Structure 1
């Protein structure tokens, strides 16, 4: 660590994950002198143990499926084997390239990177390895960790996503505890790699935070792929031996497999960092802030996974930029949580932005909401790709579109337009007047809005 003892910075950022490094980059761009404190590697969970490595595995999984299914398209291919050493080499090369680029970017902005475990020791001070960094502002961005359940010990054949990303073998069978984004993505990968997969989810649906129509379609798609799942019953316990894991549920059912992946969400990394001692308000470990992400203690701010809400890298990016611009005297637009896009990168993908139909009815009443589903069977590019699914629109009656929900291969790439529609409060008629390229899957969004505007082209009224 460089000798920074006694050095005063404009901003000290604690944590160099998505929220932290975005804060640092934007603040430095605006002329601030920034210290970025990180115990591990710049890039945080998303780059090293989350978004990027899991999506690399998912791409390899897609190639495995393509190799199996080539004959359907007249291309006769066979899948010889999945070489996890090669898959991991590819994954690590992607991470390494992005990491090198990020390091260069941080260096080019003149940001001081301080390696070590930081702790908040005052409203303008962070202690790192016995040295104290002071800043006119302090931004907390310490991220999250893979959570377990009370009494459920991680170790051996009971793993979290952290260990799953380092596996050098493909399990013959796996049980996944949790049917949210992380659990569903690993289920998709392992099934494509040839494993027998069972998901256990205590709530009534997989991807339970999504619109119910998407959840049900997702379950049908997973069932068709041969991914098994048990819904609505809580986990009871697990034992393990040389043969594998033995999982029991509260209703008495038992399941056996090579591995148990615990994917029950992520917890805020705030313990032992001095937050409560300095007067910050914590709730279940999360840092409570106002709508501007101020903690209410001096000039201490918080961003990313430690703030209650969606735990998404792009939310952290946006919050980091938002805080940096406020500190620098700009007047950025507040971040609307419902306007943040959400994607599950499995096969099929699920993508959404805005509110679900159920939430819209809470807000506007049962008679104050209109919905429409456009089947991807009517979309030429989706037919070419061999995918099924739909686009579902939720609209305030006679008002703007307040929710866009999609399921199908590659629909995550369509959510960019979806977020513009929702965040700019577009009416179906506004989007219906736009020309969408043919043949693209993006065209399905245009067709859905044409239908909701009362003038369907390739869909029935």
Structure 2
């Protein structure tokens, strides 16, 4: 006999466990199948551990800058085993807390590799043998993603790695090469540069670093990377990789050659759908991603009104942990019969924890031009903000709004604590505020948040310091 639950979730990452927690909170019985550790990529190999590394790099940078502020400090190197202990402590504390929360909610976690045998059934290979799991109301597919690789750069875990292997490096590479200039690439470049690497090089096939972001964000980050001593090669495709004897040599299609002691492939992540029994469910796949509608429904049903959903990195949305949280909760609400509103993914903030940080929500300038939407734009530089000056901050806040006083269409921040400041931008965009509305808000002084207010004041025709 199969173990039956109202909801079965396959995958315990951010999307999976948020769905499980909300469903349990709504009174549904929940079984969650996870082959590794609940928390998934974000907690164990992505968001949380990388930010621990970045905090350590920030402390290293502060040590270097101390004498400029009259502080007697110096940077004497990095003890990577101690950094790893620090990172592992943060991850383990969050993991234990998550497990305790799930247990308290009555969620049963089934540890083992799950294979779908139908739209509402899973066979799980556990340490104690095989278990049959069945869903009566909903099957939620949240199998996550894995780093993408390329044939010419075979990952060996030593000279050529992905972000997964970077979690466990016990020494700082002297001359790392990073393939890819999106979030993972620029963040690790920041980490290794902060740790004192002799030379850090980024190679990006598209024409700019953080190629999906606003054009002025791209330019500001490029300037900051150059100032920090990080070399960014853009608009060049890697054509050949040679590795051996402790050296990696990368050659691009334009003849550029870069030599280092480590190559990290950071070209994005791909969905985990192979060898999962997906074909037995009837779900449609496109380039490996599960096809869903705006409510995360796959179109597959079973029994008396049962529905198969898919959430998180396994569907072609943003691939961000915080978007997965909302997808999981939205699905749980539907299973419980509650009304929901589809997610506006353009209104989900994107964040990059490089130096300087990046936060963005809404349209970019390029997207507005491509769609023929008329707009006004104003930028307020952090060089005019006293708090940012104290922190050596660089960058700006840029606001895009519909022409002639219309609603805010995009907020783009590159500078100190941009990942925190974008929360206000998210509220402004999603509530369709006008620049004149925001111009009436009083921001505390002296704070970085004043830059957000000043950019909107400028767009409202009330520029003060800009």
Which TM-score tier does this pair reach, normalised by the shorter chain?
Answer: over 0.9
CA deviations 1:293-324 (Å, max 9, x no partner) are 00011110000001102111001101000100
Name which of 336, 361, 366 aligns with 2:344: 336
Structure 2 CA distance for aligned equivalents of residues 243 and 300 of structure 1? 48
What SS does the corresponding residue of 2:371 show, helix, strand or coil?
helix
Give the aligned partner of residue 433 of structure 1. Answer: 440
Name which of 335, 349, 356 aligns with 2:357: 349
Aligned 1:21-40 pairs, distance under 5 A: 21-40=17-36
What SS does the corresponding residue of 2:298 show, helix, strand or coil?
coil
1:249 aligned onto 2:276: no
Structure 1 CA distance for aligned equivalents of residues 433 and 412 of structure 2? 15
CA deviations 1:140-194 (Å, max 9, x no partner) are 0010001101343110310000111100000111111111110000000001111
1:415 aligned onto 2:422: yes
Structure 2 CA distance for aligned equivalents of residues 444 and 257 of structure 1? 39
Name which of 376, 383, 391 aligns with 2:389: 383
Name which of 319, 324, 333 aligns with 2:332: 324
CA contact (8 A) 2:378 2:398 kept: yes
CA contact (8 A) 1:198 1:230 kept: yes
Give the aligned partner of residue 77 of structure 1. Answer: 73
CA deviations 1:274-298 (Å, max 9, x no partner) are 1133221111100110111000111
1:359 aligned onto 2:375: no
Structure 2 CA distance for aligned equivalents of residues 211 and 115 of structure 1? 42
Aligned pair count?
A: 453
Deviation beyond 2 Å, 4+ runs, structure 1: 361-365
Give the aligned partner of residue 267 of structure 2. Answer: 264
39-48 or 396-405, which deviates more: 396-405
Aligned 1:47-58 pairs, distance under 5 A: 47-58=43-54
Give the aligned partner of residue 172 of structure 2. Answer: 170
Aligned 1:18-167 pairs, distance under 5 A: 18-129=14-125, 130-135=130-135, 136-155=137-156, 156-167=158-169
CA contact (8 A) 2:57 2:191 kept: yes
Give the aligned partner of residue 304 of structure 2. Answer: none
CA contact (8 A) 2:119 2:280 kept: no
What SS does the corresponding residue of 1:107 show, helix, strand or coil?
helix
Aligned 1:196-345 pairs, distance under 5 A: 196-298=199-301, 299-345=307-353
Name which of 192, 195, 203 aligns with 1:193: 195
1:454 aligned onto 2:461: yes
Q: Cα offset for 1:124?
A: 1.3
242-251 or 22-31, which deviates more: 242-251
CA contact (8 A) 1:145 1:266 kept: yes
* CA RMSD across the alignment: 1.0
Structure 2 CA distance for aligned equivalents of residues 356 and 148 of structure 1? 28
Structure 2 CA distance for aligned equivalents of residues 428 and 394 of structure 1? 9
Question: Which structure 1 segments of 5+ residues have no match?
Answer: none
Structure 1 CA distance for aligned equivalents of residues 148 and 460 of structure 2? 44
Give the aligned partner of residue 444 of structure 1. Answer: 451
CA deviations 1:253-288 (Å, max 9, x no partner) are 211111000001000011111113322111110011
Give the aligned partner of residue 372 of structure 1. Answer: 378
CA deviations 1:8-56 (Å, max 9, x no partner) are 1100000000000000000000000000100000100000000000000
Structure 2 CA distance for aligned equivalents of residues 313 and 336 of structure 1? 15
Q: Cα offset for 1:364?
A: 4.3
What SS does the corresponding residue of 2:96 show, helix, strand or coil?
helix
Structure 2 CA distance for aligned equivalents of residues 151 and 346 of structure 1? 27
CA contact (8 A) 1:360 1:396 kept: no
CA contact (8 A) 2:386 2:446 kept: yes
What SS does the corresponding residue of 2:283 show, helix, strand or coil?
coil
What SS does the corresponding residue of 1:296 show, helix, strand or coil?
strand
What SS does the corresponding residue of 1:437 show, helix, strand or coil?
coil
Structure 2 CA distance for aligned equivalents of residues 347 and 385 of structure 1? 12
State the TM-score, normalized to the length of structure 1: 0.97
